[in-house]
Structure 1
Amino acid sequence: MAKVIHVDLFGKRTEKYDFLGADRSRLHPSVSLSPSSPFFLFTCSDQHAGIEFEAFRSITDVLPLCSLGLLTKRDDLLVGFGPEDVWNKVDHFLDSRVSDVVIAKEFGLPLRDKDRWDLSKARKQARAEHKRQVIAGLTYRPFDNRSIYYTNTLVARTNRRVLSNLNKVNSGLVLGRQGAAVGTPVWDVVFCTNELIDQNAFRRGGSTVFPLHIYPTREEAAMGVEKKPNFNPQFLDEVVGAIARSFNKSTLIPENAMPFIDGGPLVEPAQPTLESFGDALGADQGSLESAPKSVEETSEPTFTPEDVFHYIYAVLHSPTYRRRYAEFLKIDFPRIPLPGGPEVFDVLVPLGGDLVAMHLMESPRLNEPMTTFIGQGAPQVEKVSYTDQTVWINKDQTKGFQGVPESVWNFYIGGYQVCEKWLKDRAPKKGKPGRTLTPEDIDHYQRIVVALSETIRIMAEIDKAIEAHGGWPGAFQGAGQ
């Protein structure tokens, strides 16, 4: 049987060739490896951690319906900072008085490409479909919410089969398949969304979304099919066994919140929102944290789809989880442990819920800014830099956000340094001046700083809670245990 060994060798290429061509007995110090299924890693890894990790369920087994985010291939045309921005760009794109050549140059579009894109034909077809209802919200990058003109004619990959579930009241878990792809030292390819998601929401490797709820198609709705949670029933049965509670699928989502199908909503009136539904229930407006988990009240302890979603989100934000299973998170989707009992489940659910509320920008705590915007004149983004707890947006370092902790400035999600990335995407590019920040932009950035600061705090709380209930892996159990 062949023997597999691992040796670290540093130096020039010629020296490495000489070394490898010499007597194999010189391969010292070396480590013998026993690559095992499913990854057969040719690296040194903690075999005990690998056994633990394999005992958990893959997220693709927990939330079976998933898809990469949408891919426009035409962001400059179809994605904008708001509905009016997008509408005006597409309106100009469809103007028959402007030639195809001019349009192609203005928006950086090819006249034709290998995906059978034909600019002239696309413009003609899109004119017949032009309506504001196809403009939707888009999570473009972490905390960077844009608008998109979402039609099959103009968007290269709509991935509508899955993403149609997110163009209404819903939540989605966003993950990268290979953590190593983004290049950060610690796994960070996790976020959440309540709208459409861009395939390039993370720096590299693609972003895959797992909707919490699945809505019926028009045909299914006509036959009486209702929305359902996107959870593997076997996984839910295992959670029931782990925490000794029954599953209650009732949620905040109204039954008439229908999906966005074939370029437009099934009903013309505005879709219900979590805010409006929260008002009807007497909850704090816009707050997931204060809203009840279930419309139906039961005397017996139960858990809801949101509870499981929040539990998963908390687990994935455990710093110890990310370190302990680092080698495996580099190469595949994360795997989810079952709670060891109701106690650890009960403590992680609200922490995960707090994180979700922060990342969806729905927590009332975001209304308490910890930064101040300073400087005179128009707040136009020229050059982004950071010194003395201030994020500067101009070259002279006279305008910026004061009071940003270094830990927040250096915090990464999806391979992006969030505080820097959000502003850099509004800096000068392609010969165009930087964006002049609106009052809403400034407020949003200040809320991002709070969200990241709270994320750092909550992640530490998650580890403390897990440690108090047995640590890793004692607080959890593998699938089927």
Structure 2
Amino acid sequence: MFDIMQGVSINLFVKTNQKKKGELGKLYQYDLQGKRSFKYDFLKEKTVKNIEWNNLQNVEPNLFFANKDFEGAESYDKGFKIDELFLKFISGIQTGRDKLFIDDNKDILLKRMKFLLEQDVDSKFINEFNIKDSSSYNLIDRIKSANFNEDKLRIIEYKPFEKKFIYYDEKLLKRSFSSVLANYFKDNYGLSLMRTQVNTVNFQTIFLNKSLTDINFYGFQSYNFPLYLYQERTAFDERERIPNFNPKILAEIEAKLGMKCVDDENFGKENFSKENFGKENFGKENFGKENFGKENFSKENFGKENFGKVLNFAEVENTPEVENTPEAKNASKAESKKTNFSPLHLLDYIYAVLHSPKYRETYKEFLKIDFPRVPFPQKETFWDLVQLGSEIRKLHLLEEISNKDLQTKYPIAGNNVVAKPTFVTTENFSKENFGKVSNFAEVKNAPEVENLTGKVFINETQYFDNVPETAWNFYIGGYQPAQKWLKDRKERELSYEDILHYQKIIYALTKTDELMKKIDDICFTEV
């Protein structure tokens, strides 16, 4: 008996001299769970011969030491593997010293890097940021050979819905993986996945990014699959970028759809026109409604008398265009869809399938052990799934979320300092309990109500109101973003931008849950 909660494996090996050459040994297993007295009684009464052993099947290639439900293997194996469709993929960045090279504030980070690379650092700085070598990371020599360059500042998607700044210098970082991740220095999308499931019961490790990602994006080793690979133009190939797809698998997809995959050079810019060519943030995909007119918007210009007027910015959408009317654009898109699809369309299709609750449940055992397989698309359902995948993609990138879409409120003034984030269902909230956060945390047995909403208290008096419980409990990987985002800001003051960002996270998670159910209404596989 062991005084620990962690499961313990006791192994007995028996050599019979009866096994044929190359034959695998037989595996028998028994789980003994319960209180100590029960285990003592079991061991007193049983022997190796009279225990009712479970016969474990050795199924290649994984050879699990446990019985698995592999029903549906034939159907699952008909799909294409993500790591076979994408030609290049890589682990996320491993800085070796996150506290040194990553920060929420770009000015603080640049100041720190300038001091590190141009000054003689003192012992306090050395201790605070762990400036020393390790067995696999010669940091000191790297610092000596590097020069400060403000252009090394990049955005990194550190966790789902969590962007930070990184000083991305290949000479300094432990593992920069720039051969693949440098493709995010220009317009791109990517999938963030884990090879196997860790710290999660079902498949939930799927998210999109447009920037660099961290190796521990989901808390454990995470991999990144860029949609496009950028290249130097040549006389033989004038393309600046190519889809990061295996030509053989792509050809199979094209054949099943009866369409060709064509890269639109104006990818992601539905409002593209000559007048706007070259404007850095132009295009719906990269410029959400809430940012319309943002060049002239700042906290300094945001007075009480203007509160709420920002919503009007998002309403300026329908400026007439001479040869680029919405009707003309939609007609052109519809015509194009008859013969072509883009790499982004295929990414959206994959994103929709991997957000199907039915698909996750049906193939949960397979999705735990390797990168996922995705069924080849069917022409009848392809565009419906592309549409739903596109909507989830934009939600997860917090694109096209207008202030007027936000239903979550933040009604009470205060110091905005996060203490202990706590969710309280609306039906358990009363004036008598107002401010007693410690009591709210004890309310666990509220009856299940569809679309139940509540308040998320950040301290004793301030809260986000009208937060759906589905959003509060929603998982991406091993994280619940609505909870983790606040917990990571404990004892910090939330800014205006922070409050708005959190409201968008709640909106995105709520809508994602709704769209996932719609995906299951579409029959896209044999399940």
Pick the TM interval, shorter chain.
0.7 to 0.9
Task: Establish whether residue 349 from structure 1 lines up as the match of residue 386 from structure 2.
Answer: yes
Deviation at residue 366 of structure 1 after TM alignment: 6.6
Deviation at residue 277 of structure 1 after TM alignment: 4.3
Deviations 1:436-469 (A, max 9, x none): 2111111111100000001101111111123xx6
Query: Aligned runs of 1:18-37 on 2, under 5 Å?
Result: 18=43, 22-27=47-52, 30=54, 32-37=55-60
Deviations 1:232-258 (A, max 9, x none): 11111111122222222334349xxxx
Q: What are structure 2's unaligned runs of at least 5 residues?
A: 1-22, 269-276, 293-313, 315-325, 426-453
Deviation at residue 33 of structure 1 after TM alignment: 4.5
Query: Partner letter of residue 266 of structure 2?
Result: L
Structure 1: how far apart are the matches of 2:387 and 2:185? 25
Partner of 2:128: 106
Query: Aligned runs of 1:62-211 on 2, under 5 Å?
Result: 62-94=85-117, 96=119, 98-99=121-122, 101-107=123-129, 109-119=130-140, 121-126=141-146, 128=147, 130-179=148-197, 181=198, 183-204=199-220, 206-211=221-226
Secondary structure of 1:164's aligned partner: helix
Q: Which deviates more, 444-453 or 240-249?
A: 240-249
Query: Partner letter of residue 215 of structure 1?
Result: Y
Pick closer, same or farther for the CA change 1:295–1:162 going to 2, 3 Å: farther
Task: Establish whether residue 409 from structure 1 lines up as the match of residue 472 from structure 2.
Answer: yes
Secondary structure of 2:163's aligned partner: strand
Structure 2: how far apart are the matches of 1:190 and 1:384? 25
Pick closer, same or farther for the CA change 1:149–1:187 going to 2, 3 Å: same
Deviations 1:13-65 (A, max 9, x none): 8659948972445316x4x5443222223333333322322232221001121
TM-score by length of 1: 0.80
Q: What are structure 1's unaligned runs of at least 5 residues?
A: 255-269, 428-433, 475-481
Structure 2: how far apart are the matches of 1:366 and 1:334? 36
Query: Partner letter of residue 334 of structure 1?
Result: P
TM-score by length of 2: 0.74
Query: Partner letter of residue 210 of structure 1?
Result: F
Structure 2: how far apart are the matches of 1:11 and 1:19? 15
Deviation at residue 298 of structure 1 after TM alignment: 4.5
Deviations 1:134-159 (A, max 9, x none): 11111000000111110023221111
Task: Establish whether residue 311 from structure 1 lines up as the match of residue 344 from structure 2.
Answer: no
The ranges of structure 1 where at least 4 consecutive aligned residues each deviate by more than 6 angstroms after the TM superposition are 219-223, 283-287, 290-297
Contact 1:251/1:294, CA 8 A, preserved across alignment: no
Contact 1:177/1:208, CA 8 A, preserved across alignment: yes
Query: Partner letter of residue 50 of structure 1?
Result: A
Deviation at residue 299 of structure 1 after TM alignment: 8.2
Contact 1:252/1:293, CA 8 A, preserved across alignment: no
Partner of 1:421: 484
Query: Partner letter of residue 467 of structure 2?
Result: V
Partner of 1:473: 526
Structure 2: how far apart are the matches of 1:67 and 1:279? 25
Structure 2: how far apart are the matches of 1:464 and 1:295? 25
Contact 1:393/1:399, CA 8 A, preserved across alignment: yes
Structure 1: how far apart are the matches of 2:261 and 2:41? 59
Deviation at residue 385 of structure 1 after TM alignment: 2.1
Structure 1: how far apart are the matches of 2:376 and 2:88? 20
Contact 1:411/1:452, CA 8 A, preserved across alignment: yes
Query: Aligned runs of 1:202-351 on 2, under 5 Å?
Result: 202-204=218-220, 206-216=221-231, 224=238, 226-253=240-267, 273=280, 275-278=281-284, 298=336, 300-339=338-377, 341-351=378-388
Structure 2: how far apart are the matches of 1:344 and 1:232? 23
Secondary structure of 1:401's aligned partner: strand
Pick closer, same or farther for the CA change 1:20–1:315 going to 2, 3 Å: farther
Structure 2: how far apart are the matches of 1:95 and 1:41? 54
Deviations 1:247-299 (A, max 9, x none): 22334349xxxxxxxxxxxxxxx9865x4145999x99899xx9989999758
Query: Partner letter of residue 156 of structure 2?
Result: L
Deviation at residue 186 of structure 1 after TM alignment: 2.1
Partner of 1:258: none
Contact 2:406/2:504, CA 8 A, preserved across alignment: yes
Structure 2: how far apart are the matches of 1:436 and 1:63? 42
Task: Establish whether residue 399 from structure 1 lines up as the match of residue 462 from structure 2.
Answer: yes
Pick closer, same or farther for the CA change 1:465–1:229 going to 2, 3 Å: same
What is the number of residues matched between the two proteins? 432
Deviation at residue 5 of structure 1 after TM alignment: 5.1
Q: 1:385 aligns with which of 405, 417, 422?
A: 422
Deviation at residue 124 of structure 1 after TM alignment: 3.6
Structure 2: how far apart are the matches of 1:398 and 1:222? 65
Structure 1: how far apart are the matches of 2:212 and 2:250? 26
Contact 1:367/1:447, CA 8 A, preserved across alignment: no
Contact 2:56/2:67, CA 8 A, preserved across alignment: yes
Structure 1: how far apart are the matches of 2:496 and 2:332? 36
Structure 1: how far apart are the matches of 2:400 and 2:149? 33
Structure 1: how far apart are the matches of 2:487 and 2:357? 27
Contact 1:141/1:201, CA 8 A, preserved across alignment: yes
Structure 2: how far apart are the matches of 1:355 and 1:293? 24
Structure 2: how far apart are the matches of 1:280 and 1:178? 31
**Aligned-residue CA RMSD in angstroms?**
3.4
Partner of 2:311: none
Structure 2: how far apart are the matches of 1:458 and 1:354? 8
Pick closer, same or farther for the CA change 1:299–1:112 going to 2, 3 Å: closer
Contact 1:142/1:414, CA 8 A, preserved across alignment: no
Structure 1: how far apart are the matches of 2:30 and 2:265? 54
Structure 1: how far apart are the matches of 2:52 and 2:286? 71
Task: Establish whether residue 459 from structure 1 lines up as the match of residue 526 from structure 2.
Answer: no
Structure 2: how far apart are the matches of 1:221 and 1:277? 30
Structure 1: how far apart are the matches of 2:110 and 2:206? 31
Deviation at residue 166 of structure 1 after TM alignment: 1.3
Structure 2: how far apart are the matches of 1:248 and 1:222? 18
Secondary structure of 1:413's aligned partner: coil
Partner of 1:436: 493
